[in-house]
Structure 1
Amino acid sequence: MTTRHALVVRGGWDGHRPVEATGLYIPFLEANGFAVRVEESPDIYADAAVMAATDLVLQCITMSEISQDALTGLRAAVRAGLGLAGWHGGIADSYRNSSDYLQLVGGQFATHPSKSPDRCTGDQSDNYLPYTVEMTALGREHQITAGIADFELTTEQYWVLHDDLNDVLATTTHPTQPYHPWRRPITSPAIWTRLWGEGRVFVATPGHSLDVLEDPNVRTIIERGLLWAARTASA
């Protein structure tokens, strides 16, 4: 079997445990025939030779910044057939300084609504809410999510700004609450794919903490998403 190459790029906010989180999936990639290289900065995206030889980027960088050279390299590589995949803030809340990055991935974290103010204690758990990940008609058939029923999580529920180029496999709906300023339920994509030139992009918004990444449904979806996004033979 021909060896494929995966590049794990991680860093940014430590609260998402980028080293431990990506460490959950590196053995999976290796077991599926990928040689894995790990980088702690997106600067590697500016290396055209490395990017051309890479089949999949697994990115886990929350917030942080990206240089213009690195962003140009990433966009060009995905357009040429490189796969880009990730979860939660590691891909959907990266590089807030860059609208071009937002266009590439198709969704940007806006907020994660909290519990009632009288139940908040000032730690991350203030934003842990029970919610449902609901499969779309496409999601029930797509190879990433086929056979997975709607499922429940208690964790951060991402409100995502997005566009119609995404192929949405699952959604989640934010209910109205008397302590929030919006007055109707808001449905956000929870899992989506996106085609960019010859490349494929996969995003799952669950993944705030290691226990969520180890949830059987979440883990299966991410593993399938990594394989789906990787460069195809024709790219």
Structure 2
Amino acid sequence: MPARQHLLRIHRVRPLPELPAHPLTLTVGKPSARDLRSQVFRSELRNFRRVAGVTTRRAVVVRGGWEGHSPVEATDLFIPFLKENGYDVTVSDSTAAYLELDGVDLIVQCVTMSEIEPDHFKGLEAAIRRGTGFAGWHGGIADSFRKNVDYSFITGGQFISHPHGFTDYRVNVIADHPIVDGITHFDVHTEQYYIHYDPTNNVLATTTFDSHPDYPWIEGAVMPAVWTRTWGEGKVFVCTVGHKLDDLETPEVRTIVERGLLWASK
């Protein structure tokens, strides 16, 4: 774990809205339509912001671990969104931030293949249990602390493999939920996460695996790609898509993550 901790405080006063259901009609799967889809989703999020909200909330963004997941750049994509939605944001490059979570409404974590000190984990678990939201994407939340099985119990899933490496695959929405409202499916070219997951998760979207010459038995395996769950009084949101910045800028992925951040801290 990095010995140095850097904190950045960013203040905004715009209120956090509730999450109403706004149905969308859109065409997916055509790369040339990406900008149009993005405009549609941005319009929907503006509708969210026009809904009466509550007072300013506090978010802590913790980022670090393996640099291959671009933890700084990836979280920087979502900090402006949090500010626009009324969050007072603290950014840390150390899990020591989990020692001081009193009054925090949302934790956004992007830490991959790292380790967490026992007292840091204790602070994280206690905060989520008493109601702090916990959210993230890809290995930043689903492959953070492999040696800590209690952490995986909180998240409801642990990355095991991406057998095909970078591959084309479809994510299918299977639930009626504000986080995925108006999205039926979308296609990506990135890592397809094979997950060991908790059956109590509320799975919002899935992906189906093709056969692999070394692992032919995975053909047809359906894996959760987006899910929510609760831990005590806290809400947990996980999206397994997001290896590259380009993945997170895919309109459907970005919208799902943004909605997931709001949902986790409602």
Q: Does 1:103 align with 2:153?
A: yes
Displacement of 1:181 after TM fit?
4.6
Q: Does 1:94 align with 2:147?
A: no
Question: Deviations along 1:68-121, whole A, 9 cap, x unmatched?
Answer: 11111111110100000000000000000100000000000000012xxxxxxx
SS at 2:152's partner residue? helix
For 1:183 and 1:3, how far apart are their aligned partners in 2? 46
Flag the 1:134–1:67 CA change in 2: closer, same or farther, 3 A: same
Q: CA deviation at 1:148?
A: 0.5
State yes or no: 1:177 paired with 2:181: no
Deviation at 1:46, TM superposition (A): 2.1
Residue of 56, 70, 78 corresponding to 1:3: 56
Sequence identity (%)? 55
Mapping of residues 1-235 of structure 1, within 5 Å: 1=15, 2-47=55-100, 51-114=101-164, 127-136=165-174, 138=175, 141-182=176-217, 184-230=219-265, 232=266
Residue 177 of structure 1 and its aligned partner are, at CA, apart by: 2.8
Instruction: Provide the C-alpha distance between the structure 2 equivalents of 1:35 and 1:161, rounded to a whole number of angstroms.
Output: 34
Structure 2 unaligned spans of 5+:
1-14, 16-54
Query: How far did 1:7 drift?
Result: 0.3
Give, as a single letter, the amino acid of the residue that structure 2 aligns with 1:56.
L
* Aligned twin of 1:117: none
Task: Specify the alignment match of 2:11 in structure 1.
Answer: none
Letter in 1 for 2:156: G
Name the aligned partner's letter for residue 132 of structure 1: R
Structure 1 residues 189 and 42: alpha-carbon distance in aligned structure 2, compared to 1, 3 A threshold = same
Give the Cα–Cα distance (whole angstroms) in 1 for the partners of residues 137 and 196 of structure 2.
Answer: 15
Counterpart residue number, 2:20 = none
> What SS class does the counterpart of residue 91 from structure 1 fall into?
helix
Report the aligned-residue RMSD: 1.1
Partner of 2:26: none
What code does the residue aligned with 2:153 have?
Answer: Q
Aligned length: 213
Q: Describe the shift of the 1:183–1:8 C-alpha distance in structure 2 as closer, same or farther (beyond 3 A).
A: closer
**TM-score using structure 2 length:** 0.78
Q: Secondary structure at the match of 1:144?
A: helix
Distance 1:24 1:206 in 2: 15
Question: Which residue pairs with 2:48 in the alignment?
Answer: none
Matches of 1:164 and 1:33, distance apart in 2: 34
Structure 1: gaps (5+ residues): 115-126
Q: Deviations over 1:191-231 (max 9, x none)?
A: 0001111100000000000000000000000000000001x
